[in-house]
Amino acid sequence: MSFEQTGITFLWVFLYVYIIAASIDFGAGFFSYYTKRYQSDHTIHKIIQRYLSPVWEITNVFLVFFIVGLVSFFPEAAFYYGTALLVPGSIAIILLAIRGSYYAFAAYGGRESKFYTFLYGATGLLIPASLSTVLTIALGGFITVEGELVVLNYVKLFTSPLAWSIVLLAIFSVLFISGSFLAYYAVRAEDSDSASILRRYALRSALPTIAMGVIVFLLLRDHNPEHYSKLVDIWWVFALSVLLFIAALALMMTGRNDGTAFLLISLQFATAFFGYGAAHLPYLLYPYLSIYDGFTNETMAFALISVFAAGLAMLIPSLYLVLKLFLFDADYIRALKNR
């Protein structure tokens, strides 16, 4: 693999981890709010707190990693995206800031208020909507470049069926991923009532997710034929994704093996996400910026990749420790040891 491909692969892997971890987080916010408001169920809320409190910062770092990594490996991307995305980017930052800090205020400050939970729930759906728009923009057709001026065409973006389909896809995916993971987590906490409620939420968003996936696929044909034909070239990846989806759905209906079901769903998204990414290459921003003309110099690339390897060597054992202590420690989840 060339430096360019190595770089973009690293970034894409971290973005994938962020998408899964953040989906759980975003969806949890929504479920937390929804069940509290409409079901007066507080156990789900507690389970979610237990999982989220130790990990939300780590989730956030994955996003920061992607952004900083992108501008380090592809400095030109900072120029194009930076100029074009001022307004949507700022709105996403503000939403993220509200979400993160009010989560902390509520969870650590002991200030449970309806309003905080509402903010937390609402931003859980708004953030994926605003972040997914970046993927839409990367497909090209919404940005025009005239010399130093990079302009985003808002009217075109907001009236584009493709953009809205991607937003819906993002929202349903968030609920689907989150519901299935939290159902698994509730089972581990030996709370079968919450588990079945969460499983039901997940199942409800399953079909919309896959339907939106297919719709986006079809809309791409008109929007960016080049990308579409590359997607069709690797059709088997997406077929595999659909198979994984069906298997996960079947498992979930039985109500057992939520862990395996969640694993299959992660794989379903992995295949679709990497397939989509592979077809997108070599473009970072169609058709203006490719990974080859936006790449950093060789010395820097080598240094970055070395640091990355060293960083991973520290990161993986630490993450393992987190998983072991919080995710797979049944006692912690059941909240026996730690008040």
Contacts to other proteins by CB under 8 A: 53-55, 57-58, 60-61, 63-65, 67-69, 71-76, 78-87, 89-90, 92-94, 96-98, 100-105, 108-111, 148-149, 296-297, 299-300, 303-304, 307-308, 311, 314-315, 318-319, 321-322, 325-326, 332, 337-338
- Closer to other proteins at the Cβ: 72 or 194? 72
- Closer to other proteins at the Cβ: 236 or 328? 328
- Closer to other proteins at the Cβ: 135 or 211? 135
Helix boundaries (H) for the chain: 3-38, 43-73, 75-84, 86-109, 114-138, 154-158, 161-188, 192-223, 225-233, 235-254, 258-280, 298-322, 330-334
Question: Which one-letter DSSP state was computed for residue 285?
Answer: E
By a kind-dependent CB cut-off of 5 to 8 A, residue 20 interacts, out of other proteins, ligand HEM, none, with: none
* Binding of ligand HEM by 60 (CB under 6 A): yes
Q: Are 191 and 43 contacting, i.e. CB atoms less than 8 angstroms apart?
A: yes
Q: Are 34 and 121 contacting, i.e. CB atoms less than 8 angstroms apart?
A: yes
102: number of CA atoms within 13 Å, CB side? 20
Is residue 283 within a helix (H) or strand (E), and if so which, with residue range?
strand 283-285
Rounded to the nearest whole angstrom, what is the least distance from the CB of residue 148 to other proteins in the complex?
6
* Binding of ligand HEM by 61 (CB under 6 A): yes
* Binding of ligand HEM by 64 (CB under 6 A): yes
Rounded to the nearest whole angstrom, what is the least distance from the CB of residue 317 to other proteins in the complex?
10
Rounded to the nearest whole angstrom, what is the least distance from the CB of residue 125 to other proteins in the complex?
18
Site for ligand HEM in 75-114 (CB under 6 A): none
Quote the CA–CA distance of 2 and 179 in Å, as a whole number: 39
Please, is 254 exposed, middle or buried when counting C-beta atoms within 10 Å of its C-beta (0-12, 13-18, 19+)? exposed
Instruction: Note the maximum CA span of the chain.
Output: 62
By a kind-dependent CB cut-off of 5 to 8 A, residue 69 interacts, out of other proteins, ligand HEM, none, with: other proteins
Rounded to the nearest whole angstrom, what is the least distance from the CB of residue 242 to other proteins in the complex?
34
Rounded to the nearest whole angstrom, what is the least distance from the CB of residue 125 to ligand HEM in the complex?
22
- Closer to ligand HEM at the Cβ: 17 or 234? 17
Is residue 143 within a helix (H) or strand (E), and if so which, with residue range?
strand 143-146
- Closer to other proteins at the Cβ: 252 or 301? 301
Please, is 90 exposed, middle or buried when counting C-beta atoms within 10 Å of its C-beta (0-12, 13-18, 19+)? exposed
* Binding of ligand HEM by 315 (CB under 6 A): no
Q: How many residues bind ligand HEM (CB under 6 A)?
A: 4
Quote the CA–CA distance of 273 and 271 in Å, as a whole number: 6
By a kind-dependent CB cut-off of 5 to 8 A, residue 43 interacts, out of ligand HEM, other proteins, none, with: none
| Whole-number Cα distances in Å, 171 to 1, 231, 267 | 34, 22, 18
Where along the sequence are the contacts to ligand HEM (CB under 6 A)? 57, 60-61, 64
